[in-house]
Copies of this chain bind each other. A is one copy, B any other.
Amino acid sequence: MSSIPKIVILGAGYGGVLTSLRLQKELNYNEADVTLVNKHDYHYITTHLHMPAAGTDNPENARVNISKLIDEFKIDFVKSTVVQIRPQDRKVILEDGTLSYDYLVIALGGEPETFGIPGMAEHAMNIRSINSVRLIREHIEYQFARFKREPHRTDYLTFVVGGAGFTGIEFVGELSDRIPELCKQFDVDPSLVKIYNIEAAPTALPGFDPELVQYAMEVLQKKGVTFRIGTAIKECKPDGVIVGDGEEIKAATVIWTGGIRGNRLIEEAGFETMRGRVKVDEFLRAPGHDNVFVLGDNSLVFNPEGRPYPPTAQIAMQEGVNCAHNLVASIRNQSLKPFTFQSKGTVASLGKGEAIGIAFGKKYKGRVAAWLKKAIDLRYLFIIGGIPLVLRKGKFL
């Protein structure tokens, strides 16, 4: 039995992968045992999932085998599902075993937040994993095939996207690109297809630059998207949604992108949470647990104005880097480094050749923004997998 500290990292999303990559670089030989646990043997690029969900890209391009990312001589990988976290015992219960830890990194990713809207959890699909987006893609294609056999069922051709945040907007952008292809493939009149994007907030992309939001909505409206902004979904049913004033929109496809909350395992473990998220200390640790770091969707980090940063890939990656640093420092009894978020800008895709974004303190839209988006995507692939991954999964056109 080695007496070196054991680090267990739960989840191979943005936070978990960046923590792992940094640890394998910074730790000396035999300085710690590191184990990465993930449900699947692949990492997925969550910010790409709106494309395979709509069917405009292959799901394979949105995932990378973990064995291609981590050095398995330095980090053990366990493919399993976490069932329970027991901070009092310093143990993690897996579906098929138990892991003990000295340090724990919780980077499990979040869950859809449905805000108690009746039926939403049961009847809507979510853009959140390779499996979930393959379901959405197949579901959409299936509706076209079904419509050809039951041509009175125009609800098969009605698509409701709940939430006009980043995921919702990026998804309707892709979907509106995909519809003409599907219409051609299945001999369907494109004028029968309806895409609704419904948002309860008074604007699409809340918090984003209003001029760019206006531009985005115009681009998407031209592509056939109908917006219902400032309109809450009251109920989701198997055959559609009921909105604001009781109006029913019949739709065989409802996709909910309206919110993310923390993973339920964290509440169950006894950590103090807000909407399932842990308000971490300045070093990203759970209050009262100096050996437990919480990253990404499960972590609540506040900006200097005292408002929480929205959960993005960008912040999760920076948290991973900081967490790895603080793990190494903890092991070496050095002082920890407080986390500060450095925004590198934000770009939202609106489908092929169109995007909006803010970067380097400037606004971008149209083709330039779309190129910026590609550059960000390529940069990420480079960070996690170097040039080989860029060449294998990168989209250059």
**Chain A interface residues (CB < 8 Å from chain B):** 40, 131-132, 134-135, 137-139, 141-142, 144-146, 148-149, 186-187
A144 near B149: Cβ-Cβ < 8 Å: no
Residue in B40, B131, B138 whose CB lies within 8 Å of A142: B138
Expressed in whole angstroms, the minimum distance between the Cβ of A242 and any Cβ of chain B is 25
Contacts of A40 in B (CB 8 A): 187
* Cα–Cα distance between A139 and B141 once the two chains are bound (Å): 9
Expressed in whole angstroms, the minimum distance between the Cβ of A92 and any Cβ of chain B is 22
Residue in B134, B135, B144 whose CB lies within 8 Å of A138: B144
* Cα–Cα distance between A186 and B146 once the two chains are bound (Å): 22
A-B contact pairs, 7 of them (CB 8 A): A131-B149, A134-B148, A135-B149, A138-B142, A138-B146, A141-B141, A142-B142
B134 near A186: Cβ-Cβ < 8 Å: yes
A145 near B149: Cβ-Cβ < 8 Å: no
* Cα–Cα distance between A187 and B141 once the two chains are bound (Å): 20
* Cα–Cα distance between A142 and B141 once the two chains are bound (Å): 9
Expressed in whole angstroms, the minimum distance between the Cβ of A240 and any Cβ of chain B is 19
Expressed in whole angstroms, the minimum distance between the Cβ of A112 and any Cβ of chain B is 13
Contacts of A148 in B (CB 8 A): 131, 134-135
Closest to A59 in B: B185
* Cα–Cα distance between A99 and B187 once the two chains are bound (Å): 26
Closest to A137 in B: B145
Contacts of A139 in B (CB 8 A): 142, 145
Expressed in whole angstroms, the minimum distance between the Cβ of A302 and any Cβ of chain B is 35
Residue in B134, B144, B145, B186 whose CB lies within 8 Å of A145: B134
* Cα–Cα distance between A70 and B269 once the two chains are bound (Å): 72
Contacts of A149 in B (CB 8 A): 131-132, 135
Closest to A186 in B: B134
B131 near A135: Cβ-Cβ < 8 Å: no
Expressed in whole angstroms, the minimum distance between the Cβ of A137 and any Cβ of chain B is 7
Closest to A141 in B: B138
A135 near B141: Cβ-Cβ < 8 Å: no
* Cα–Cα distance between A131 and B185 once the two chains are bound (Å): 11
Residue in B135, B137, B187 whose CB lies within 8 Å of A146: B135
Q: Can you name 5 extra interface pairs (CB under 8 A) apart from A135-B148, A138-B145? A: A131-B149, A134-B145, A135-B145, A135-B149, A138-B138
Contacts of A131 in B (CB 8 A): 145, 148-149
By Cβ-Cβ distance, the 9 closest A-B pairs, closest first, are A138-B145, A131-B148, A135-B145, A138-B142, A142-B142, A134-B145, A138-B141, A135-B149, A131-B149
